[in-house]
Amino acid sequence: MNQSEIDRLQILLNDEFLLQVINKIFTEVVKEAEPKVSEVNDDLQLGQKYRAYEKAKEILSDGFIKLLEFKKVGETKDKLNLAR
């Protein structure tokens, strides 16, 4: 990512409410994709579906961890410019 993208990302990362809402939406979408047990699925298919489901949850969690690595502690560039 270039510096311009990171600077703009700070707007999202500094809005805790917005970040939580986005996380909630992704979590709900993954939850809706949870495999359902049915007579059509055999154990192998069900195992594969659950592994894929757990992997999706892990990828989502890792994505938010990576996103939060870009969060700067303290004032952002925009706030500093407003103070001038």
Helical packing angle, 16-32 and 3-13, nearest 10°: 90
User: Is 51 among the domain residues?
Assistant: yes
pLDDT at residue number 40: 76
How would you class 44 by CB atoms within 10 Å of its CB: exposed for 0-12, middle for 13-18, buried for 19 or more? exposed
Pair of tokens at residue 69: 């690595």
User: Is 78 among the domain residues?
Assistant: no
User: Is 43 among the domain residues?
Assistant: yes
Number of domains the chain contains: 1
User: Is 81 among the domain residues?
Assistant: no
Does pTM surpass 0.85? Answer: no
Q: Is pLDDT above 70 for 83?
A: no
Return mean pLDDT, the chain: 84
User: Is 82 among the domain residues?
Assistant: no
Domain that residue 62 falls in: 3-71
Helix, strand, coil tally for the chain in percent (to 5): 75, 0, 25
User: Is 76 among the domain residues?
Assistant: no
